[in-house]
Amino acid sequence: MESITSYIEEHKQRFIDELVELLKIPSISADSAFAKATTQTATAVADSLRAAGCDTVEICETPGYPIVYADKMIDPNLPTVLVYGHYDVQPPDPLDLWDSPPFEPVIKKTDKHPDGAIFARGACDDKGQMYMHVKAMEYMTANGKLPCNVKFMIEGEEEVGSVNLAWYVARNQEKLANDVILISDTGMIANDIPSITTGLRGLSYVEVEVTGPNRDLHSGLYGGAVANPINILSKMIASLHDENNHITVKGFYDKVEELTAAERAKMGEAPFSLENYKEALDIAAVYGEKGYTTNERNSIRPTLDVNGIWGGYTGEGAKTVIASKAYAKISMRLVPHQDWEEITELFKTHFENIAPEGVTIKVTPHHGGQGYVTPIDSLGYQAAEKAYEKTFGKTPIPQRSGGSIPIVALFEKELKSKTILMGFGLDSDAIHSPNEHFGIWNYLKGIETIPYFYEYFTALKNS
């Protein structure tokens, strides 16, 4: 029986090589041109789980991309950990901003990752983090160190809203029954400041369309006399925040949970340098809702952001035209108690109400999900905390994240269990951006920490 540290030392090159192979497959769930590669990734993940010692391995077909389910049930009297992750990735564009091709992984050193980082789309979100669990499983089964039952559920549609997973979970409650859900798909503060994510924001994502005249018009002949959809859309969007950067959608804040002064003070203790934050982004000042700090703005407060806006002529040179239509994609990040479907309705009503005469409005909801907060006094959190203490030599800081994993709230509703978010990425790892990467140190640290979670969780559960 080998210790996890010596096992990693002995096998780390293979661990890296295997992840590099997985990262070469362009599993872009949003783009149907990559359907074959995405499906192929499910097979690769299933094969890796079989090799890691899972007894049951299934590729569950859905109307979309398959869900990989695997388990190893050693004793019905022991607790069961359900691991969730996703094998799909975000589209890599804009391609010209990548220093190396997104699906040809390269390892390079960076300031934050002196031991090197793997650069590729999905390196951190989430193939690299998901694969830590596969390798931790390999270690546990190969060394007689698996203390409990394990189930894996790895999906291929997280980046497009997990619609088919929601369907699958609702229909497979017994099969997915567990004592705790474990996910590595978030980040931590820094390599020397470990943290565990205790909250995720909800999301409502909508697309809006403003239609003016029935055709594109000459901007001289008609300009000034009819509503220009692009002008109108810009004005409408600008009105969605007031002078304090509060969101003006009627009813938007009604259910927002205000944290107590004590909770906010506790949050404020987490190490954070505004100077470094600004420097990392090349900005002279931060910007946001009045009365809240940067860390509050991006975690405990809801937001509204335009993610894309288009219409009219955007080609080379100039064309004098009033476009018939203008469009925008808008996301709202929500906090616990705000219901995403209700917020979507409120937005729709508000947006229709603020439109001037002379244009028509269409609001199309895309996907969404509820926010999530996990208590820090649960057995799962305590086990995770002890695991980090063991491998980082420090107590991790509980921290709410601004990102969303909508399926987590659904897990709680359908499977009645808490999720522990053990993420090992850094905010600077550029997930969803060009040059996404994942630190080799972080990858190996994750593999090292996970088996301790299993050990401590089982011990706490049995005590």
Binds Mn ion (CB under 5 A): choice among 125, 155, 448, 455: 125
Identity of the residue, 311 or 406, whose beta carbon is nearer to ligand BES in the bound complex: 406
385 binds Mn ion (CB under 5 A): no
136-175 binders of ligand BES (CB under 6 A) = 158-159, 161
Say which entry of ligand BES, Mn ion, none residue 112 contacts (CB below 5 to 8 A, set by partner kind): none
Q: By C-beta, is 141 or 295 nearer to ligand BES?
A: 295
Q: What is the nearest approach in angstroms of Mn ion to the Cβ of residue 164?
A: 16
DSSP string computed for 84-104: EEE--B----SGGG-SS-TTS
Determine the angle formed by the axes of helices 127-142 and 35-51, rounding to 10 degrees. Answer: 20
Whole-angstrom CA distances from 67 to 38, 153, 162 are 11, 7, 10
Instruction: Looking at residues 320 to 349 of the shown chain, list those that interact with Mn ion (rule: CB under 5 A).
Output: none
Cα separation of 137 and 143, whole Å?
Answer: 10
- In the complex with Mn ion, the residue whose CB is nearer, 91 or 101, is 91
> Which 65-124 residues touch ligand BES, going by CB under 6 A?
none
What binding mask, one character per residue, do residues 185-204 give for ligand BES by CB under 6 A, x or -?
A: xxx------------x--x-
| From 27, 164, 303, 404, residue interacting with ligand BES (rule: CB under 6 A) | 404
Minimum distance from residue 47 beta carbon to Mn ion (Å) = 22
Tell the smallest beta-carbon distance from residue 456 to ligand BES (Å): 23
Q: State the binding partner of 187 from ligand BES, Mn ion, none, CB within 5 to 8 A by kind.
A: ligand BES
- The option from Mn ion, ligand BES, none interacting with 29 (CB < 5 to 8 A, set by class) reads none
Cβ 67 to ligand BES shortest distance, Å: 16
Q: What is the dihedral angle through the alpha carbons of 197, 201, 206, 208, rounded to the nearest 10 degrees? A: -110
Query: Taking CB within 5 to 8 Å according to partner kind, which of ligand BES, Mn ion, none is near residue 401?
Result: ligand BES
Strand ranges, E, within 109-201 = 117-119, 149-155, 180-183, 195-200
Figure out which of the listed residues 18, 126, 138, 436 binds Mn ion, where binding follows CB under 5 A. Answer: 126
Is the Cα dihedral 28, 33, 34, 39 positive or negative?
positive
- The CA angle 306-309-314, to the nearest 5 degrees, is 155
Instruction: Closer to ligand BES by CB, 103 or 456: give it.
Output: 103
Partnered with residue 151 across adjacent β-strands are 71, 82
User: Residue 401, interface with ligand BES (CB under 6 A)?
Assistant: yes
Q: How many CB atoms lie within 10 A of CB 345?
A: 15
Quick one: 124 or 322, whose CB is closer to ligand BES?
A: 124
Looking at the chain, how many residues does it have?
463
Burial group, residue 256, by CB count within 10 angstroms (0-12, 13-18, 19+): middle
Give the nearest distance from C-beta 163 to Mn ion in angstroms.
Answer: 15
Per rule CB under 6 A, is residue 420 in the interface with ligand BES? no
Q: Is 243 helix (H, G, I), strand (E, B) or coil?
A: coil
Q: Label residue 154 exposed, middle or buried (CB < 10 Å: 0-12, 13-18, 19+).
A: buried
> Is 421 in contact with 427 (CB distance < 8 Å)?
no
Least separation in angstroms between residue 158's CB and Mn ion is 6
Here's the x/- map for Mn ion, 165-194, by CB under 5 A: it reads as: --------------------x---------
Is 163 within 8 Å of 64 (Cβ atoms)? yes
Q: Please say whether the beta carbons of 241 and 350 come within 8 A.
A: no
Q: Which stretch binds ligand BES (CB under 6 A): 50-58, 291-299, 401-409, 441-449?
A: 401-409
List 64, 212, 396, 406, residue binding ligand BES (CB under 6 A)? 406
Nearer to ligand BES, 307 or 320 (CB): 307
Least distance CB 165 / ligand BES (angstroms): 11
For residue 201 the two structure tokens come to 């924001």
Residues 194 and 134: beta-carbon distance below 8 Å: no
Q: According to the binding rule CB under 6 A, does residue 403 interact with ligand BES?
A: yes
**C-alpha R_g of the chain:** 24
Note whether 429 binds Mn ion by CB under 5 A: no
18 binds, among Mn ion, ligand BES, none (CB under 5 to 8 A by kind): none
Q: Is 147 exposed, middle or buried (0-12, 13-18, 19+ CB in 10 A)?
A: buried
Name the residues that contact Mn ion, by CB under 5 A: 125-126, 185
Name the residues that contact ligand BES, by CB under 6 A: 125-126, 158-159, 161, 185-187, 200, 203, 367, 401, 403-406, 431
